[in-house]
Amino acid sequence: MEIAEQRAGHLTIIEVKGRIDSNTAKVFGERLTTLIAAGGQRLVVDLKNIIYISSAGFRVLLVAGRHAEETNGTLALCGLSTEIQRLFDLGAFTDLFEIHPSREEILAKPA
């Protein structure tokens, strides 16, 4: 798994590549926690290059989402492939996250 970060105005975009599974979820979660701990962060996790996400990856996203809310931040997801979208649907996670088709759509929204 690779993690790239980019600032875009009021947002921090985290682009993840590869797999988020039991071997990589801890590193991913630690990075999200560090960013969220700054307080008031608006994070976008771009999943367009994710080929697989396990229950450990879903747990990391759920914990990060809760933590973001507690610190008056937000966590949005974008770029879900058809297969990753199917996994979100099966696990009933689509109602728990703000999900957008692309990062461009999020960037176009006012702050």
Q: What does the alpha-carbon distance between residue 57 and residue 27 come to, in Å, rounded to a whole number? A: 10
Query: What pTM was estimated for this model as a whole?
Result: 0.91
Whether residue 29 contacts residue 63, with contact meaning beta carbons closer than 8 Å, is answered with yes
- pLDDT digits over 70-82, tens only? 988 899 999 999 9
Domains of the chain, start order: 2-108 (3.30.750.24)
Dihedral sign of CA atoms 18, 45, 22, 92 in order: negative
Residue 104 exposed, middle or buried by CB count within 10 Å (0-12, 13-18, 19+): exposed
86 Cβ contact list (under 8 Å, min separation 6): none
- pLDDT digits over 43-58, tens only? 999 999 999 999 999 9
